[in-house]
Homo-oligomer: A and B are copies of this chain.
Amino acid sequence: MKKINFSSKFTKFNDRWSPKVIAEMNDYQFKLVKIKDDFIWHKHDDTDEVFIVLDGTIFIEFEDETIQINEGEMIVVPKGIKHKPYANKEAKIMLVEPSGVVNTGDKEDKLTAPNDEWV
């Protein structure tokens, strides 16, 4: 059993929009991601998805509003809801979602990241 230090894990990668698994709880994974600029519109039909902002500020565009999420804040994106995350400056976030979730959801894109990459 080992504790996990977020800052230390973030020093181990620099690619953006490519979630790195840091922990598994039952069949769920905790993933760290560095993000900047625009992601793509997508949805996850089978699961909710949690975004926790650890450093910086992110925005998530939904069809009828855009929500700003700062360090020390989180949001649950319900399954089936189209969303497009973006950040004006690089931000560091943690995702919580079932193992096997693909970052671009229902879309295949150049931003589609490999799954189950641990750091």
Size of interface on A: residues with Cβ below 8 Å to B: 36
Docked-complex contact B1 and A78, CB < 8 angstroms: yes
Task: In the complex, identify which listed stretch (A12-20, A23-31, A35-43, A105-113) lies at the interface while the others stay far away.
Answer: A23-31
Per-residue contact bits, chain A 55-66, to B (CB 8 Å; 1 contact, 0 not): 000000010010
Docked-complex contact A50 and B25, CB < 8 angstroms: yes
Instruction: Decide if the interface of chain A is mainly helix, strand, loop or mixed.
Output: strand
- A23 and B74 in contact (CB under 8 A), knowing A30-B50, A69-B3? yes
* CB proximity of A79 to chain B, nearest CB, Å: 8
State whether the Cβ of A77 lies closer than 8 Å to any Cβ in chain B: yes
Docked-complex contact B6 and A72, CB < 8 angstroms: yes
* CB proximity of A105 to chain B, nearest CB, Å: 15
- A74 and B3 in contact (CB under 8 A), knowing A26-B47, A30-B50? yes
Nearest to A74 among chain B residues (CB) is: B4
State whether the Cβ of A90 lies closer than 8 Å to any Cβ in chain B: no
- A25 and B48 in contact (CB under 8 A), knowing A30-B74, A74-B30, A96-B96? yes
Instruction: Pull 8 A–B residue pairs with CB atoms less than 8 Å apart, ordered by A.
Output: A1-B78, A2-B75, A3-B67, A3-B69, A5-B70, A23-B74, A24-B48, A26-B79
